[in-house]
Structure 1
Amino acid sequence: MLARASGAGAAWLWRQNSRLVLWLPVALAGGITFYLALPTEPGGVGVAEGVLACVASLACRLLWPGRLAVRLGAGVVGMGAMGLLLAWGQVWRMPPFPDLPRRAVHLSGQVTEAEVQRLADGEQALRVALRGVRFEDGISIGMPPLRRWLWVRLRADDPARPMPGDGLEVRALLSPPAFPDVPGGYDAQRRAWFDGLAGHGRALDRATITSAQAGGGVGGWLAGRRQVLAERIRTALPGTRGDIAATILAGADGVVAAPEREAFADAGLAHLLAVAGLHLAIVMGLVMVVVRTGLALSERAALYWPCRQIAAVSALLAGGVYVLLSGAHLPARRSLLMAGLAVMALLAGRRPLSLRALALAATVLMALSPEGVAELPLQMSVAAVMALIAGFDALRPALSGWEHDDVWLRRVAVRMVRPLLASVLAGGACLPVGMAHFGAVQPWFVLANLLAVPLMSIWIMPWGLAALGLMPLGLEKLALVPMGWGIGVVTALAHLVARLPMARMGVPALGNVGLCVFFVGLCWLCLWVGRVRLLGLVPIVLAVLSPWMAARPALLLAPDARMAGIVTQGQLWTGPGTHPDPFVLREWQRVTGLPAGVLPAGGTVGNVTCHAGVCRVGDIVLVLASRPPAPGLCRGAGLLVNLPGTWGCDSVPSIGRFDLWRNGAYGIYRRPDGGFVVQTDRGVRGARPWVMRPGGAGLPNLPLAQAE
């Protein structure tokens, strides 16, 4: 029976022979994920083993090409080892975090990017990216410039309007990338490590602009043109419509007010405010249609010229210009690369949209930026495109039959159902990814996208491109006003859908393991053919349900010891104070999926009792106020958490301010036997290059001694 089952499995795999190559990017992503999840660096021995694994896999594949087991093993092991080596090389290519001053400091640097940000109070401030930063105070005078760049937000009343390439001097208060607010939560330090970011700053005085420095180059010139473009758009089209138009056409991130962004997010339309694949596809599609239609008007061109190929190349060039104009953000660059591969396939006479093209594009993207495997944009785009291609491939026989049916009603129905199917397939594939990164589900996303995306395609973006064409003549307002009408309709739709019942449902965030299980199931469902692909639904369902199977933390502690959260009876209670940190609270709600409340100064909420700055829930004692221990405080306590001080109780496990400073955020879970499982940020992330030392200390920006 075992031999018969083995033979049947081998025969099935040989029938899937053309699909095996599609799993190579999956193995590559698995190797990258494995490296990022390691608690410590692999070291020289681990890297050497990875190199040997790649060489051995290639040798086995060449020596025994006809053996199925060798092919499978060599592909999985070789690509997995390659992924590990790519991630390792990308990590050690980046410079270390600098040790930023803990006090206000005078700094100078070159502006490489400037963007308008809307603050919480509605005011607008300019945020600038500075490279080559030098500190002008104390021991830092005369030291070499930082190898990483800084974001510095200028004061809202600062009249300075620096352009890319300008020098800037300002007195600012700096902070390193933030520690995660919960063990296993969003890792801003890892993101900053790969982005080359040193930290953030807030200007304390008005900035001084110095003469433009050499070295801005083409990038600085483009950034300056984008800034001018965004200002002209917002001048011609004031208000929210102008902010959204500047975001779409010039990549002016941060100008859209928070209520508008929240409405778009709750309606499932947040992707309309991020320049990525959708906008690029619309631009390229419009240019391709216009060019091909124009060539078809010429009899000679229509008969003798490769009109389709010319239109595709023209669309790709237009897409490249649009990506540069909109800021060349990473998601847009990824989309342009995938579009370039599609155009190459079209020129070669191959299918431009296929799973093989997606596999090639994903491999190239992961080779260029391996860290993208752990980030939202690449996960969203790959999941959506894979579901669209595989879904329409599976439905093609039925759709084609109705599309050429004699009954006109069926032909009309199939044209109407295609956008609905696209929204369901892409949105359904991205739903678990949204659960993992946002801790929320938007059930009405299909309705919102079904109406908003066609309007964006046939009205908003065409008028936007016309506005860009009219801008050299100073007539951009003629096109921006009709564009604003469409933006107004989409904005009203977003607010309408966001007000519907259950428009945004908070759910416990999908963990990293659950997200990996989901992608394994999605790949199984999309990459195989036949009924066996339906087995992929099992891990998908298990991954989606996993947040409700896992235990919620009983107590959460912020890494700066300024905030604690008690999870009890389906509620998250935070303290001390009545105004919790909004960023920490948002992350805690993302992880728990629970509504939040504030711990009282005295009294009882649920099974939490508070008095004189001390709260008790069961055998957990939480001290929020700085004061000496009261008599009988430790009686019956199983765990003491003292945020303000360092004293504890004899024979009672305790957590104090110094523990949080040393280990980062804490998550305390209850065991079935009544005990506790304590997780710390440092214990979860391990000792990795991007994990900063306690307090956010980095490498001092001082010259090292040539010898001891």
Structure 2
Amino acid sequence: MGMVVSRVQIITGVVLPRQHIDRIRAGLSHVNAGVSAWLWGQHARFALWLPVLLAAGAAVYFMLSWEPSVTWAWGAGMVVVACVTARLVWGTGLLVRIGSGMAGACAAGALLAWVQAHHMPPFPDLPRRAVHLSGQVLDVDAQVLRDGTQAWRVRLADVRFLDGINIGMPPLRRALLLRLRPDNACMPVPGDTVLARVMLSPPAFPALPGGYDAQRRAWFDGRAGSARALDGVICLHGQAPIGMSSRIASVRQAVARRIRTALPGVRGDIAATVLVGADGVIAPGVRDAFADAGLAHLLAVAGLHLAIVMGLVMAVVRMGLALSERAALFWPCRQIAAVCALLAGGGYVIITGAHLPAQRSLFMAGLAVMALMAGRRVMSMRALAMAVTVLLCLNAENVVELPLQMSAAAVMALIAGFDALRPYLSAWEHDMTWWRRAGAWLAHPLLASVLAGSACIPIGMAHFGTVQPWFVLANLLAVPLMSVWIMPWGLAAFMLLPLGWEKLALLPMGWGIGLVAWLARQVACLPVAHIRMPAISNGGLALFFAGLCWLCLWGGRGRLPGFVPVVLALLSPWWVARPAVMVSPDARMAGIAAGHMILTGPGGHPDPFVLQEWQRVTGQDAGLLPDYGRQGPVSCQAGACRVRGRVGDIVLLLSVSRPGQALCRDARMVVNLSGQAGCPDVPVIGRFDIWRNGAHALFAPYDGGVTVWADRQVRGTRPWVMRPGGAGMPDLPLARTE
């Protein structure tokens, strides 16, 4: 403190009296003691921040526009070692504990992401022509297309190309997704060898700079790309050894087929989805209705379904043991029922595909069973922190994907919300007045829907650009129906499958599914059921999670400031500049922001995937560029459009290779999709620029000039960023040894 006061005297040149110096020292000591006491009061919650800091470090790695070197990775490892050493040697100091914990966890998260990214094999260079291939079937699922037809989607391993220079090359080290024709006569099963003539496509480039990165998802999923069968495929049964995963996939496929046979139509599709995870069979219209009603989580096997399954099994086993007097008096019936429920939950997660939310829920359920057997609290924030930490260590890339974000936010809000409201709910549950007890019973599903749904709203805005205001109403009716009717009959159907009597349970299950589907359609038709909004950026999403974690993980009234970053994150879409012109990565499509619409061209059939991503980011409706005339700031004529701005225009050439003198007047930027020519002394973006740098976004600020962002400028050179044109590593054989 004396050094601080002396520095103040040196800087200001003012000599303070002795009593003033003593007062300043006493005040600083008092503040230091207060802050230390405040932080020490939270020391029991410090462990809860471990997954948050790991996720922050991993997120920083994925947000970089350059790839850290091996030296950087060694440096991050040394930081982790130094922080652990400091914690063990000087662990009694508050600043050492907090500083070493934060720095070490963030460095560990970034290092985990780096190691996992460099552990994956490179993308192969897929042929650009029709080729014949052979591959082993790993998994098969049905996929309903937009036109209502159904096609099989097959995941292949050990893929070999059988044409020309590719003959004799080693098999691909990555899997390939093959979509069969709807009229294909052969229905492959896991373990088969498939022969097909296909057209191949590498993972898609982002539709605009900073958009969804399908190449990063494919990199960590181990996928090489996708393929489309041009003819009927040939299935060779029994040509390859069948592993455990293939056997499980075969069981899933067979059970899904029997469910849809016993319960045809939409009801059977939803039943197969919630029982065996066959989510591809649901028609897009039905899925859109569930999404608009806020019931999309019912179609994704996650914590809700696992909790229902384990709760039902635990109740049945415990009631069965209670029928025996000896078991009820001498056996630990509660613990036995909990273990049986955990085993049933594990089997359910495996049979539904072991998706990430289900894995997180199963891990938390295992911790809950261990706590129950040890006499500890069953559901706690520590169990969630441990589950998320394990998932991040297994695959740190999940930190930037929807499933982990949605699952962690919902469960964290549920635990923190019920912890805060438990005294009030407990008082009402034990009140002598009947209406208060009934209110407490009804408050649980209402609070669960409000807490989980509210925590997921910003995440939905970031990944989908939509908000569903009626989600509370829909969940209040649909979730209890799923818990007390649909899933119990589904478990009964599982038990009746070996006897072939599953239809006895699937029929009443279908009645409940039909009621939920009707409810989804009715809620989706309500006014403003589906509100399109600009997507929250990555920075806004990080700000939201910082506020949510502070609200849920900090103790006492000090958590209330966490509302500030949450509100700022919700308002951030309207503070960020939106692009005035967007160009797709294949230079075949351009979009112009005109008022509340995105006008696309050329042609009247825009790419649906690119358009959907543009709408997600901008929150605008879709339209077509006029052939002639003016619409808002856009005027078009003979294959060329001008976007008028306050200080200059952007010229967009759709089908004209060289602009005329009239088009070049007052132009600040030329985007030429049909060639490379432009206006004299005016910057031009041509097809070669788009091929080399990917999708482009042009911003026209009011202070002058045009700002251009390219996909390669935003993503940089990363392991998962493919070379121009989607080129990968040639699949060449190893050199022969001498």
Q: Does 1:651 align with 2:688?
A: no
Match of 2:235 in 1: 209
Match of 1:263 in 2: 289
Which residue type is aligned with residue 339 of structure 2?
Answer: V
Q: Any residues of structure 2 matched to 1:670-681 within 5 Å, and which?
A: 670-681=700-711
Match of 1:59 in 2: 85
Distance 1:627 1:39 in 2: 33
Match of 2:421 in 1: 395
Q: Kindly tell me: are residues 707 and 41 of structure 1, through their superposed partners in 2, closer, same or farther at Cα, counting changes over 3 Å?
A: farther
Distance 2:141 2:387 in 1: 31
Distance 1:703 1:75 in 2: 47
Give, in angstroms, the shift of residue 633 of structure 1. Answer: 2.0
Match of 1:82 in 2: 108
Report Cα offsets for 1:209-231 as digits up to 9, x if no partner: 11323332111111111111111
Report Cα offsets for 1:651-683 as digits up to 9, x if no partner: 101111111111111111122312111111111
Give, in angstroms, the shift of residue 623 of structure 1. Answer: 0.6
Q: Any residues of structure 2 matched to 1:224-373 within 5 Å, and which?
A: 224-373=250-399
Unpaired segments ≥5 residues, structure 2: 1-26
Q: Kindly tell me: are residues 707 and 5 of structure 1, through their superposed partners in 2, closer, same or farther at Cα, counting changes over 3 Å?
A: farther
Distance 1:348 1:142 in 2: 59
Give, in angstroms, the shift of residue 7 of structure 1. Answer: 2.4
For the residue of structure 1 that corresponds to 2:134, the secondary structure is strand
For the residue of structure 2 that corresponds to 1:500, the secondary structure is coil
Distance 1:551 1:629 in 2: 29
Residue among 627, 643, 666 paired with 1:617 = 643
TM-score normalised by structure 1 residue count: 0.98
Match of 1:555 in 2: 581
Residue among 593, 596, 603 paired with 2:629 = 603
Q: Any residues of structure 2 matched to 1:479-558 within 5 Å, and which?
A: 479-558=505-584
Distance 1:146 1:590 in 2: 34
More divergent stretch after superposition (590-599 vs 336-345): 336-345
Match of 2:444 in 1: 418
For the residue of structure 2 that corresponds to 1:151, the secondary structure is strand
More divergent stretch after superposition (622-631 vs 394-403): 622-631
Q: Kindly tell me: are residues 658 and 2 of structure 1, through their superposed partners in 2, closer, same or farther at Cα, counting changes over 3 Å?
A: farther
Distance 1:629 1:676 in 2: 19
Give, in angstroms, the shift of residue 632 of structure 1. Answer: 2.3
Give, in angstroms, the shift of residue 587 of structure 1. Answer: 0.5
Which residue type is aligned with residue 400 of structure 2?
Answer: A
Give, in angstroms, the shift of residue 84 of structure 1. Answer: 1.2
Which residue type is aligned with residue 457 of structure 2?
Answer: L
Q: Any residues of structure 2 matched to 1:89-238 within 5 Å, and which?
A: 89-238=115-264
RMSD: 1.3
Distance 1:511 1:687 in 2: 21
Give, in angstroms, the shift of residue 322 of structure 1. Answer: 1.1
For the residue of structure 1 that corresponds to 2:384, the secondary structure is helix
For the residue of structure 2 that corresponds to 1:169, the secondary structure is strand
Which residue type is aligned with residue 192 of structure 1?
Answer: A
Q: Identity of aligned pairs, percent? A: 65
Match of 1:588 in 2: 614
Give, in angstroms, the shift of residue 644 of structure 1. Answer: 1.5
Which residue type is aligned with residue 585 of structure 2?
Answer: P
Q: Contact 2:54/2:109 (CA < 8 Å) preserved in 1?
A: yes
Give, in angstroms, the shift of residue 22 of structure 1. Answer: 1.0
For the residue of structure 2 that corresponds to 1:552, the secondary structure is coil
Residue among 348, 361, 382 paired with 2:408 = 382
Give, in angstroms, the shift of residue 121 of structure 1. Answer: 1.2
Give, in angstroms, the shift of residue 693 of structure 1. Answer: 0.5
Match of 2:718 in 1: 688
For the residue of structure 2 that corresponds to 1:615, the secondary structure is strand
Give, in angstroms, the shift of residue 532 of structure 1. Answer: 1.1
Which residue type is aligned with residue 69 of structure 1?
Answer: L
Which residue type is aligned with residue 73 of structure 1?
Answer: G
Q: Contact 2:410/2:455 (CA < 8 Å) preserved in 1?
A: yes
Distance 1:422 1:288 in 2: 22
Distance 1:678 1:2 in 2: 50
Give, in angstroms, the shift of residue 631 of structure 1. Answer: 3.6
Q: Kindly tell me: are residues 678 and 3 of structure 1, through their superposed partners in 2, closer, same or farther at Cα, counting changes over 3 Å?
A: farther
Give, in angstroms, the shift of residue 705 of structure 1. Answer: 4.5
Give, in angstroms, the shift of residue 334 of structure 1. Answer: 2.7
Match of 2:21 in 1: none
Q: Number of aligned residue pairs: give it.
A: 708
More divergent stretch after superposition (88-97 vs 2-11): 2-11
Which residue type is aligned with residue 363 of structure 2?
Answer: L
For the residue of structure 2 that corresponds to 1:632, the secondary structure is helix
Match of 2:12 in 1: none
For the residue of structure 2 that corresponds to 1:360, the secondary structure is helix
Give, in angstroms, the shift of residue 707 of structure 1. Answer: 9.9
Q: Contact 2:414/2:451 (CA < 8 Å) preserved in 1?
A: yes
Q: Does 1:26 align with 2:52?
A: yes
Q: Contact 2:653/2:659 (CA < 8 Å) preserved in 1?
A: no
Distance 2:736 2:717 in 1: 27
Match of 1:629 in 2: 659
Q: Kindly tell me: are residues 582 and 228 of structure 1, through their superposed partners in 2, closer, same or farther at Cα, counting changes over 3 Å?
A: same
TM-score normalised by structure 2 residue count: 0.94
Residue among 428, 452, 455 paired with 2:454 = 428
Residue among 473, 476, 482 paired with 1:447 = 473
Residue among 470, 473, 479 paired with 2:499 = 473
Give, in angstroms, the shift of residue 411 of structure 1. Answer: 0.8
Give, in angstroms, the shift of residue 6 of structure 1. Answer: 2.8
Give, in angstroms, the shift of residue 706 of structure 1. Answer: 7.0
Which residue type is aligned with residue 692 of structure 1?
Answer: M
Q: Kindly tell me: are residues 463 and 661 of structure 1, through their superposed partners in 2, closer, same or farther at Cα, counting changes over 3 Å?
A: same
More divergent stretch after superposition (223-232 vs 670-679): 670-679
Give, in angstroms, the shift of residue 335 of structure 1. Answer: 2.2
Report Cα offsets for 1:70-107 as digits up to 9, x if no partner: 00011111111111111111111110000000011000
Distance 2:402 2:30 in 1: 43
Q: Does 1:666 align with 2:692?
A: no
For the residue of structure 1 that corresponds to 2:416, the secondary structure is helix
Give, in angstroms, the shift of residue 568 of structure 1. Answer: 2.4
Unpaired segments ≥5 residues, structure 1: none
Give, in angstroms, the shift of residue 23 of structure 1. Answer: 1.1
Q: Contact 2:262/2:268 (CA < 8 Å) preserved in 1?
A: yes
For the residue of structure 1 that corresponds to 2:488, the secondary structure is helix
Report Cα offsets for 1:412-448 as digits up to 9, x if no partner: 1111111101100000011101110000000000111
For the residue of structure 1 that corresponds to 2:280, the secondary structure is coil
Which residue type is aligned with residue 41 of structure 2?
Answer: R
Distance 1:278 1:467 in 2: 19
Match of 1:12 in 2: 38
Report Cα offsets for 1:254-293 as digits up to 9, x if no partner: 1111100000000011111111221111111110111111
Which residue type is aligned with residue 215 of structure 1?
Answer: P
More divergent stretch after superposition (629-638 vs 79-88): 629-638
Distance 1:361 1:452 in 2: 28
Distance 2:358 2:186 in 1: 30
Match of 2:20 in 1: none
For the residue of structure 1 that corresponds to 2:211, the secondary structure is coil
Structure of larger gyration radius: 2
Distance 1:195 1:153 in 2: 18
Distance 1:144 1:643 in 2: 39
Report Cα offsets for 1:688-708 as digits up to 9, x if no partner: 000000000000001255799
Distance 1:705 1:648 in 2: 48
